[in-house]
Amino acid sequence: MSETTDARPEFRVAAFGLAARFQRLLEIVLRHARHNRYRYSLSQTRGPGEFDIALVDMTVIGGPEVASTLGRLLEGDAVLRVGRRADPDRPRDDLLQNAFVAQVLYALNGVVDSMISRRREADASVALAAGLIVPEQGEHRRPRALIVDDSPTVRRQLSMALHQIGLDSEAVGSAREALDVLAMRRYELVLA
């Protein structure tokens, strides 16, 4: 599958202090991970905004300082620490050198899963604050409108217009039907 036809989301990985041997292994793993749910590419540059995930070798001089600096600049778990032993403060984030090839995709996928989850939660909270979705019994849904009109054409046109502005709608032909429907569901808007 070529990169242009690959529909998987792509994330850029930058290596900081990683030995040439591990960088080569990383390139091979990323290139051959066709069945992984995400696509990764190795970033050649390490400037701001040029990578999504950082792999930092904690065994080189300055590695812990680089990891802490990147941790302040990026999302905290977007910095994967590569070391020789598990650090009790970071048991989930450490990627050990002796299991590097076996665990690198698992660790990268964990970081991306948490990044995507946070983005979805942030998008949902923004939509909730803007009134684009409404909480109902622990679930979120779009605002709903009830259209009451005896003309099917008017009901259909109003329903299409409301859908275009982001409202779900239901339509009834009489006030009696509207009372029955209102007894069963809650609506943010009633057009009569």
In Å, what is the CA distance from 97 to each residue of 8, 102, 156, 189? 28, 10, 63, 59
First-to-final CA distance of the chain: 54
Which H or E element spans position 176?
helix 175-184
Distance set, CA 136 to CA 112, 140, 153, 187 (Å): 29, 6, 30, 11
Domain 10-128 CATH class label: alpha beta
Coil, strand or helix at 74: coil
Sign of the dihedral through C-alpha 82, 86, 87, 90: positive
Strands 10-16 and 53-57: parallel
The alpha carbon of 159 is separated from its chain's Cα centroid by a whole number of angstroms, namely 31
Q: Which of 20-24, 134-138, 176-180 has the lowest mean pLDDT?
A: 134-138
* Secondary structure of 99-150 as H, E, C letters: HHHHHHHHHHHHHHHHHHHHHHHHHHHHHHHCCCCEEECCEEECCEEEEECC
What does the angle CA 102 – CA 14 – CA 115 come to, to the nearest 5 degrees? 75
Cα separation, 103 vs 183, whole angstroms = 55
Average pLDDT of the chain, as a whole number: 84
pLDDT digits (tens, 9 = 90+) for 5-14: 778 899 999 9
Which amino acid is it at 191?
A: L
pTM of the model: 0.63
In sequence order, the 6+-apart residues with CB closer than 8 A to the CB of 149 are: 155, 158, 171, 173, 191, 192
Least confident of 117-126, 136-145, 183-192: 136-145
Give yes or no for a contact between 94 and 81, defined as CB atoms under 8 angstroms apart.
yes
Fold observed for domain 134-191:
Rossmann fold (3.40.50)
Per-residue pLDDT at 128: 65
pLDDT of the residue at 134: 60
Task: Give me the helix-helix angle, 100-129 and 20-31, nearest 10°.
Answer: 60
Task: Domain ranges for the chain, please list them.
Answer: 10-128, 134-191
